[in-house]
Amino acid sequence: MVAITPRSTARKRPAAASRERAPGRRRIQWTGYLYALPALTVLALFLLVPLGQLVQISLFKWDGLSASTWAGISNYTGILEDPALVSSFAHAFVLVLFYSAIPISLALLLAAVTTRTARLRGVSVFRTILFLPQVVATVVIATAWTAVYAPDGVLNGLLEAVGLQQVTRAWLGDFSTALPAVGLIGSWLETGLCLVLFLAGIGQIPRELYEAAKVDGAGAVREFFAVTLPGLRGQIAVALTLTVIAALRTFDLVYVATHGGPGNATSVPAIEVYNRAFNTGQVGSACAIAVVLTLVILALTYGITRLQPEEEDT
């Protein structure tokens, strides 16, 4: 019972397992490292060194200008003690719902519908339009949506036109609607990306599978769960990774649309990092938040990669 078999890594990752099983082999292919050296140097210089500095500064109390003092892990414990910071992480997870869950479900639904048609005319134009939100600068998107959500904006105008006067409000200025309103901008932003990914994925699913499903008498729903969804596992994992990362590190959208307000209703970790590092002279604390955010993102993306089908499956 104690001798637990390591969770099927041997079966799943034969290459890695065999490397571990042969400790006696000491012949390292140095030339291989030589080829990787330029890439490694760039990686170390521009990524690992700053990351190390980030961790280093996070252990100090520093205003960014004068001498710093050793703070140990107090910047990290400080995150837990500050309810505003804890809620900023909570807001980021709410945004995951809007950036990932909604766009992926919506894109899956739309993708499934398109599989019912034999051939789409002008599919590339369609794709370009869907992808447009990804190309436009987020600042522009946030500014445009701020106008939509404004007290006398398009959304309230529409609601008034259909007689829903009592629902109208300052969507980004209302404590109960600000976070969902920002989140929905994210949904709008990411749906196109997901759909383009899924459409490409569906193109790779052999048509015979659909025909076979039809022959077997599968309806639209059955076909979706039996053919489309399993066929898109890889794309869904990619979409999840991209959108979850985008949600957790949201900065520009919130910065332009609400500045984290009203109150702290839409504050997210990235906003707190910026504020502390550049405005309030709490560089150590800012770095600690950044480190925690990085770890959270790494942990989540690691979890998502486990959903991804192994190479040999596809």
Partner 1 sequence: MSERTWHRRITGAALATACLAAVAACAPGPSAAGGAGAPKTAGPVSTDPAADGKVTLTEWDQNTDPGVNASTEKLNAAFMAKYPNVKIKRVSRAFNDLKTTLKLALSSNNPPDVVQANQGYPDMGAFVKAGLLQPVDRYAQAYGWPSSYPQQLLSLNKFTADGRTWKTGNLYGVSQTGEIVGVYYNKDKLKQLGIAVPTTLSQFETALQQAKAAGDLPISFGNSNKSPAIQLFGVVQALTAGKQEVRNLVFSQGGAKWTDSGPVQTAGTLQDWVKKGYLSPGFDGQSSDQAVAAFAQGKSVFMVDGSWQAAALAEKMDPKSVGFIALAPSGGASPVTQGGEGLAWAITSKSKHADVAAAYINFLVNDNGMKFVAAQGNLPAIVPGAYQPPAGTIYADLLAQWKAVSGQDGLLPYLDYTTPTFYDTLTAALQEMLAGQQSPQKFGETLQNDDSAFQKSR
Q: Is 255 in the site for partner 1 (CB under 8 A)?
A: no
Q: Strand 60-61 and strand 69-70: pairing?
A: antiparallel
Q: Counting contacts by CB under 8 A, is residue 281 touching partner 1?
A: yes
- Identify residue 31 by its one-letter amino acid code: T
Should residue 21 be labelled a site residue for partner 1 when binding is judged by CB under 8 A? Answer: no
Taking the CA of residue 251 as centre, how many other CA atoms within 13 Å lie in the half-sphere pointing to its CB?
10
Residues 71-100 that bind partner 1 (CB under 8 A): 84
Instruction: Write the single-letter amino acid at 115.
Output: T
Burial of 56 from C-beta contacts in 10 A (0-12 / 13-18 / 19+): exposed
Binding region for partner 1 (CB under 8 A) out of 8-16, 105-113, 165-173, 227-235:
165-173
180 binds partner 1 (CB under 8 A): no
Q: CA angle 79-303-192, nearest 5°?
A: 95
Q: Using the rule CB under 8 A, which residue among 159, 170, 213, 237 binds partner 1?
A: 170
Q: Does 142 bind partner 1 (CB under 8 A)?
A: no
CB 233 within 8 A of CB 308: yes
Which residue in 15, 22, 34, 67 binds partner 1 (CB under 8 A)? 67
Q: Using CB under 8 A, which of the segments 101-109, 124-132, 242-250, 274-282 binds partner 1?
A: 274-282
Name the residue nearer to partner 1 (CB basis): 156 or 235.
156
Judged by CB under 8 A, the residue of 10, 17, 51, 55 near partner 1 is 55
278 contacts partner 1 (rule: CB under 8 A): yes
Q: Does 280 bind partner 1 (CB under 8 A)?
A: yes
Quote the least distance from Cβ 36 to partner 1, whole Å.
Answer: 22
| CB-CB contact of 283 with 276 (8 Å) | yes
Q: Where are the alpha helices (DSSP H) in 28-153?
A: 30-43, 49-57, 74-81, 83-96, 102-115, 123-135, 138-149
Q: Read off the tokens for 298.
A: 């790494």
User: What's the token pair of residue 262?
Assistant: 């009203």
Taking CB under 8 A as the rule, does residue 16 contact partner 1?
no
- Give the span between the Cα atoms of 181 and 207, in whole angstroms: 40
Question: Total binding residues for partner 1 by CB under 8 A?
Answer: 41
Quick one: which H or E segment has residue 237? helix 233-248
What is the closest distance, in whole angstroms, from the C-beta atom of residue 172 to partner 1 in the complex?
5
Q: How far is the CB of 275 from partner 1 (least distance, A)?
A: 6
**Residue 112 or residue 182: which is nearer to partner 1 going by CB?**
182
Strand, helix or coil for residue 69: strand
- Name the site residues for partner 1 (rule: CB under 8 A): 53, 55-57, 59-60, 62-70, 84, 146, 149-151, 169-175, 258-264, 275, 278-283
